[in-house]
Amino acid sequence: MSSVKGARPEEVLENFPLPWPAPRPDCTQCADLARERAQARRVGDGSRAVDCNVRIRTHNTGHNGTPLIPRALP
């Protein structure tokens, strides 16, 4: 993946749109967000569906041992 700084627009856009994140089967928060995303798609609310994708991706960092709460800056 090329860096955005100094990249041509077609290089940046070749990696978009991102694939929809798959919810973890053992995570209730993932399941709730996936249901909300499905409902948003059914009613044509693309913004809410994308928000759910972002929330699935960002809360998902806790699944691999990364802390969910950021450390305070020194």
Domain annotation covers residue 46: yes
pTM of the full structure: 0.62
Domain annotation covers residue 49: yes
Domain annotation covers residue 47: yes
List, run by run, the mean pLDDT of 10-residue segments along the chain (74 residues).
56 66 86 94 93 81 54 50
pLDDT for 39 equals 96
Domain annotation covers residue 3: no
- Our count of domains for the chain comes to 1
pLDDT for 16 equals 64
Range of the domain at 35: 24-63
Cα angle 5, 20, 43 (rounded to 5 degrees) comes to 120
pLDDT for 2 equals 45
Please say whether the beta carbons of 56 and 62 come within 8 A. no
pLDDT for 45 equals 93
pLDDT for 9 equals 61
Q: Is the dihedral of CA 49, 50, 53, 55 positive or negative?
A: negative
